[in-house]
Amino acid sequence: MSAILLRLMLALPFMLLISPKSEEQVKQWCIADEQFPDGVLQESMDWVCGAGGANCTNIQMNQPCYYPNTVKDHASYAFNSYYQKNKGGACNFKGAAMITEFDPSYNSCHYEYTP
């Protein structure tokens, strides 16, 4: 084997380690922090679904994200709807929300993601 080929074979693993990786966009969703009381979550959700302009139709009765019928689950859907609509906007809601990189969708309830 030629010396040049041998050097290339030895250098390849190191080149792969230091070469810039393509920047994949990290997917993020905004969900309710389950440590917060329902009252705080409900207050924030009321604003998000009203003046905030989030699309909260999927958490209405007989819609795909109504169950489980809990404030935390409904707030998570509403917070994410607002967050995706206002990309780069806040995911805080008085500290009652947080960012996750795990898709919170379940069964027929699909949480929106906007790149």
Q: What is the per-residue DSSP string for 33-60? A: -TTS-HHHHHHHHHHHHTTT----GGGS
Q: Which residues of the chain have pLDDT under 70?
A: 1-23, 88
33 CA to centre of own chain = 13
Render pLDDT for 75-94 as a digit per residue (tens, 0 to 9): 999 999 999 999 867 899 98
pTM of the shown model: 0.78
| CA angle at 110 for the pair 64 and 74, rounded to the nearest 5° | 60
Q: Which class for 7: exposed (0-12), middle (13-18), buried (19 or more C-beta within 10 A)?
A: exposed
- What dihedral do alpha carbons 57, 73, 115, 17 form, nearest 10°? -170
